Structure 1
Amino acid sequence: MNRIFLISYALLAIWLTPSVPANAQEDSPFKALPGRWVGDGRVGFKEGKTETVKCRATYFLSDGGQGLRQTIRCASASGKIEVKSQVANKDGKLTGTWNEMIYNLGGELAGEVTPRGFRISVKGSDLAANMDVIVMKDRQMVEIQFFNSSLRGLTLLLQKG
């Protein structure tokens, strides 16, 4: 199984929704994510080619800390990748939408909160993918495995700024 590794160190601005009370954010499984994250990584393509990418991620809380908007933007020598997700948490179960804007891939996401982050599966008419997000203090690892596209995988190591 091919694994792609990305290391990320760039920063993005994040603004918290003013209507979210601080105590609701503390109970949120997303509480460590809001803000700017940057770094480098690797993207893999179906034909076996891999490239280094520079990435940045931005997270915004919503719905009293139980909702999350995610944007990940990466650039390599040959192109870009841009992922946008809307995620809702209910009792540790995750639902929402996931879209890769450059390759026009998208679908519904389902997953769960784990002790170290989040495990997500994405399914759409043009996409099957798994995404793991591991968060440790001011560092984050994002790994996406694609199963039926020209993309094979994307692995990022991000640092919060």
Structure 2
Amino acid sequence: MIVSKFTDRFRTAANDITAPVPPGIARPPYLTPTPGNYPVLSRRFKATPDQVKPARNFVAELLGDSHPFRDDAMLLTSELATNAIEHPTGPAARPQEFLITVTFILHGVLITVQDPGSMEIPCPRNSKPDATGGRGLALVNSLATRWGFHRDSIGTVIWFELGSAS
């Protein structure tokens, strides 16, 4: 897998944000590499249920087995990717996809999920014990150090941070 081959080199040169990025992985277009930025990698996924696992694996591979927030990051990425798939809006002519961005911050990780958006404001729900869904943002709310969302001309970005709150 492309990410696996890149992960060790990325971790070694994590502060070199000008390092080449392998095909299929990109830096978000809104960030320009300048000294002082944290290392950031992104990948697009089709908004289909079979892409939740690859999205989760993308995050897991970048963080590596020994990262202290790996399991929580994988779980929360799965929840937000599922939300991006289940609640899409936007022009029907535009292919539906979502973008996962992983930012390595001091003492933690910041992960964003960007999609074309929904008309609803993202907020945690209280699901009934026998409900088969509706717990995603409640999990984000309870596990993340902090989280939030914003909307722009492209869609909705939901983000969460694990680790440092500074």
Normalising by structure 1, we get a TM-score of: 0.28
Higher strand share: 1
TM (norm. structure 2) is 0.27
| Higher RCO by CA contacts (8 Å cutoff, separation 6 or greater) | 1
More helix by share: 2
